[in-house]
Structure 1
Amino acid sequence: MTVAVAASRTAGSRRVPVVRAYRFELVKLVSQWRVRLLVLACWIVPGVFVAAVAQQSTLPTDTLFGRWMHATGWAGPLVTLGFSGSWALPLLTSVVAGDVFAAEDRLGTWRHLLVAVRSPRRIFAAKALAGLTVILVLVAGLACSSTVGGLAAVGSHPLVGLDGHTLAPSDAAGKVLLAWLCVLAPTLALAGIGLLGSVTLGRSPMGLLLPALVALAMQLAQILPLPVAVRLALPGYAFIAWNGLFTSPVQGGPLLIGVVVGLLWAAVATALAYFLFVRRDFTSPEHDGPGRRALAVAVLPFAGLLAATVAVVAAATTATGSGIEQEKVQRSLATAFAHLYRTQTEQLNRPDVTEAQLKATAACTKGDVRTGAHGPGNDWRCVVSWHLPGVGTTGQAVYQLDVAADGRFVADGDGPKEVNGYFLVRTATGDAPNPLWQFDGSVELLSATPKG
């Protein structure tokens, strides 16, 4: 039996407007103690955390932009963004979207709600919009709180990008905002999956956990040595692709694909949840959602969407395999080194040089492979060479690279000491962090392999 609400309506009765139902659902959500606690936590905790870490002597250098938290307040919201994409946002979407329909099953209030609103479609729209509103408030809290905390503790100073170039405070502010906006796409995808789980699994706690489990599965997939086309076709890729905004030129291809894929998954998941909800039989008190069978059937559209996306990405890009190749690693490392060498030169009050004058190059090997090395790993070893105007000898520095599957790498200096072998440099105003000692970089997975 389809939705049996018509029996409860009298001729000429008016349905409650969506706006009114939306306000009602929003009040219901905000009245829950756990939602109020999450709102307070998202608007307070990130700022306190960022401000506290910025005052510590030890920084989270294993986190993207964590090593720059002493230098600029704009690093704080980026550190928070990296943590939120992995853990906070999946959990927030689980608590909000994963329970928005299941709560009515647990309380047994569907009949009362249907008599009051008189339209399952309007109920779905009101609940989905209320959940979306709360999620947006939580995300805004994470972004605003961490930004205020960073700026209050450190100040608005230039930020060093992933290729070593320096971003002015205004440029850094714009890109921080854009990065947070971009992660809304995968967040909406998880929210749509939460709605689907809440509709299909009813009182089962699995509906509440579904977005977090899907996010965990996507994180595990990003660790595996998957082809780059498969990696980009996963809806959570925008959670890590935002780092391409902080290179010059911007690595916008992967980020754009990640945003589009996230929005597609959000639309498909929400449409499936709507399709199942409006066909539910609300007359049976024993009915507890379409059930696990419906959820299994709902997996098929996602499988088809993933296959289609992989095919489109593979056909539209030239990158093959992991996308991490020897020539790309060498080019990215040399570019970052040249930018940071100029920063070190400024610290030491030496004559200024340009990247064109340095002519920095890198020669990398991976383990025992000297030609055609590819793939992620912590066994990359590179020698960077550069030239100074008026100096006949060629400068060289050694780096050990740990390249992740998403293209991010950490370059760890291995000498000589006066260039990159020590974490401090002696300046006219005292010791300062050595920008060439250890730094982050990014290999553009979709770029064409340079021809030698």
Structure 2
Amino acid sequence: MTAMLEQTEQTAAARPVSVARAYRFELVKLLAQWRVRLLVLACWIAPGLFVAVVSQQSSLPVDTVFGRWMNATGWAGSLVMLGFAGAWALPLLTSLVAGDVFASEDRFGTWRHLLVAVSSPRRIFTAKALASLTVILVFVVGMAVSSVAGGVLAVGGRPLAGLDGHLLDPGDAAGKVFLAWLCGLAPTLALAAIGLLGSVALGRSPMGLLLPAVVALAMQLAQTLPLPVAVRLSLPGYAFIAWPGLFTSPAQLGPLLIGVVVSLVWALTATLLACLLFLRRDFTNLTSDGSARRAITVGALPLAGLAVVTVAVVTVAVPSVDALGSGIGQDKVQRSLATAFAHLYRLQTKELNRPDVTEAQLAATAACTKGGGLVASEGPGNDWRCVVSWHLPDVAATGTAIYQLDVGPDGRYVADGDGPKEVNGYFQVRTPAGDEPNPLWQFDGNVELLSTTSKG
């Protein structure tokens, strides 16, 4: 009888701890770290303060998407923060959390205690991955809520001008801002999964901690190169820069949806590879935190293969005229500029208290050349020159305005008015929100890289 009781107690003691209990334990461990607490506090306070302060300044970050609208509407500040978060903040935050969640056990030599307590490597991995994801979600939600609150409280929830010049009412703007942050979660998950893989594969090496930030920086550099659209869309961080497509009418969803799907595929693949590496690890050898050969064969090479497969799939999926080129052609630039000009012309007309006209009455068109007509009118560059023409009711003469365009590789461009001064020159316009620059002077636009929306 005594022997049976002892055997029952040993069986109960060896029974693995549930995932829920292990998850709570790992979450408490993460939140007990002073740096994580400080980062949570910063994510919930700093974005709001930044947006509120910058929105009151006369000098705005006009080189960022929606930066020139920060003192006109509170929704613009959150989008500026999203652009900054995708480029810098989120890669660093995922590095500090997901990139260190396994490596910290190697540094402190606590694997034996954790394995004895939980009795299941699979549950340990699941709990650590879920705890890391939870903290990262807290970071993202904090930045989104804080930046929206700071902008709305400082400036107000006024209508927001989209990237084709049409006005979004406050409710529509709020919904698009929420969707933009939600889409930003996909590449964040991909970076977090890469961080888990680096933390498992590289152990106590500092490169495991830096891997998500290094990968994000490499993707940013790649986006500045003249890459084909298929390669550009196949990078797991493309959704960080594709969300502006939500702010056109109709929305440019093709590149964004591809970017989100690619990010999620990378997130799932990297997580599975990290789990496989973790389950194959020999925890009896306390001097080794992983095999370099296994890290390459099970970690790096499969991700490289995934990149090749993704490029091939995207190349087949998107129109061939776009896949192998830049996706930025003369027709697309002209159509985008004419649409934005027509919408903003109506806004200018309203602000100047002139008789209203419709886009159909204006019938705006644009004629664009690149490099003074000496090079092919396609691809990114700051040497685009466009002449916009339009008509007014009961006016025989055709109006014209000149713009210089700086088109980026991602399709986003800045249009700079070059005359006539009374149309697209710099002057102040009195609005209910105060004096604002002429909306036709300088504005942002977006060229759709894929030929999916109607040309009408």
Shorter chain as denominator, the TM-score bin is over 0.9
CA distance in 2 between partners of 1:26 and 1:450 (Å): 48
Which residue is 2:36 aligned to? Answer: 35
Q: Where do residues 42-81 of structure 1 align in structure 2 (5 Å cutoff)?
A: 42-81=43-82
Worse-superposed segment, 13-22 or 90-99? 13-22
Q: What does residue 359 of structure 2 align with?
A: 355
Residue in 1 aligned with 2:299?
A: 298
Structure 2 residue corresponding to 1:326, chosen from 324, 330, 335: 330
TM-score under structure 1 normalisation? Answer: 0.95
* TM-score, L = length of structure 2: 0.94
Render the CA deviation track for 1:70-90: whole Å, top value 9, x for unaligned. Answer: 111111110000000000000
**Aligned residues of 2:273 and 2:298 also touching (Cα < 8 A):** no
Conservation of the 8 A alpha-carbon contact between 1:162 and 1:247: yes
- 2:427 is aligned with 1:406: no
CA deviation after TM superposition for structure 1 residue 295, in Å: 3.5
What does residue 5 of structure 2 align with? none
Instruction: Report the counterpart of residue 439 of structure 1 in structure 2.
Output: 443
What is the match of residue 270 of structure 2?
A: 269
Cα displacement (A) at 1:305: 1.5
Q: Which residue of 2 aligns with 1:307?
A: 308
Structure 2 residue runs without a partner (length 5+): 1-8
What secondary structure sits across from 1:440 in the alignment? strand
Larger deviation: 422-431 or 134-143? 422-431
> Match for residue 394 of structure 1?
398
Change (3 A) 1:271 1:431: closer
Per the alignment, in what secondary structure is the counterpart of residue 74 of structure 2? coil
**Contact 1:366/1:379, CA 8 A, preserved across alignment:** yes
Q: Cα deviations across residues 90-135 of structure 1 (Å, max 9, x unaligned)?
A: 0000000000000000000000000000000000000000000000
Aligned pairs for 1:224-235 (under 5 A) are: 224-235=225-236
* Alpha-carbon distance in 2 for matches of 1:428, 1:15: 64
How far does residue 425 in structure 1 lie from its aligned partner after superposition? 3.4
Structure 2 Cα separation of the partners of residues 292 and 29 of structure 1 = 30
CA distance in 1: counterparts of 2:433 and 2:36, whole angstroms: 49
Q: Deviation at 1:405?
A: 0.1
Structure 1 residue 250 corresponds to structure 2 residue 260 = no
Q: Distance in 2 between matches of 1:428 and 1:310?
A: 49
2:419 corresponds to 1:418:
no
- Deviation, 1:290, is 2.8
What is aligned with 1:365?
369
Greater Cα offset, 422-431 or 41-50: 422-431
The Cα of 1:265 is off from its aligned counterpart by: 0.2
Q: Does 1:344 align with 2:348?
A: yes
The 1-side partners of 2:123 and 2:432 are apart by 68
Give matches, 1:159-170, under 5 Å: 159-170=160-171
Kept in 1, the 8 Å contact 2:103–2:204? The answer is yes
Distance 1:422 1:35, change over 3 A: same
Question: What is the count of residue pairs matched by the alignment?
Answer: 444
CA–CA distance in structure 2, aligned partners of residues 208 and 427 of structure 1: 49
Q: Which runs of 5+ in 1 are unaligned?
A: 1-8
Deviations 1:314-370 (A, max 9, x none): 112211400000110000000000000000000111110000000100000100337
CA shift in 2, pair 1:449/1:80, >3 Å: closer
Per-residue CA shift, 1:183-236, capped at 9, x if unaligned? 100000000000000001111000000000000000000000000010000000
Q: Structure 1 residues 371 and 280 mapped into 2: Cα distance closer, same or farther (>3 Å)?
A: closer
Q: Tell me the residue number matched to 1:6.
A: none
Task: Kindly indicate whether the alpha-carbon contact (under 8 Å) linking 1:201 and 1:292 is maintained by their aligned counterparts in 2.
Answer: no
User: Which piece of structure 1 moves more, 163-172 or 307-316?
Assistant: 307-316
CA contact (8 A) 2:426 2:437 kept: no
Aligned-partner Cα distance in 2 for 1:450–1:242:
19
Q: Please identify, of 311-320 and 198-207, the stretch whose mean Cα deviation from structure 2 is larger.
A: 311-320
**How has the CA–CA distance of structure 1 residues 400 and 62 changed in structure 2, closer, same or farther, with 3 Å as cutoff?**
same
Counterpart position of 1:385: 389
CA-based RMSD: 1.8
* Aligned residue type for 1:446: L
Instruction: Work out whether residues 200 and 277 of structure 2, in 8 Å CA contact, stay in contact via their aligned partners in 1.
Output: yes
Instruction: Please tell me whether the aligned partners of residues 72 and 433 of structure 2 are also in contact (alpha carbons under 8 angstroms).
Output: no
Q: Quick one: distance in 2 between partners of 1:323 and 1:165?
A: 23
Mapped to 2, the partners of 1:73 and 1:327 lie a distance apart of: 34
Q: CA deviation at 1:297?
A: 4.4
Once the two structures are TM-superposed, the CA of residue 372 in structure 1 deviates from its matched residue by 4.8
TM-superposition CA deviations, 1:250-304 (whole Å, max 9, x none): 0001110000000000000000000000111111110112336514642222222
- Tell me if 1:96 matches 2:97: yes
1:432: Cα distance to partner? 3.0
CA–CA separation in structure 2 for the residues paired with 1:398 and 1:81 = 32
Contact 1:201 1:289 in 2 (8 A): yes
Q: 1:227 to 1:122 in 2, by over 3 A?
A: same
Q: How does 1:85-124 map to 2 (within 5 A)?
A: 85-124=86-125
Change in 2 beyond 3 A, CA 1:288/1:262: same
The amino acid of 1:112's aligned partner reads H
Q: Which amino acid aligns with 2:337?
A: L
Residue identity opposite 2:381 in structure 1: G
Distance 1:438 1:423, change over 3 A: farther
Contact 2:47/2:81 (<8 A) preserved:
yes
Aligned partner of 1:173 in structure 2 is 174
SS at match of 2:360: helix
CA distance in 2, matches of 1:428, 1:242: 29
Contact 1:90 1:211 in 2 (8 A): yes
> Aligned partners of 2:391 and 2:293: how far apart in 1?
65
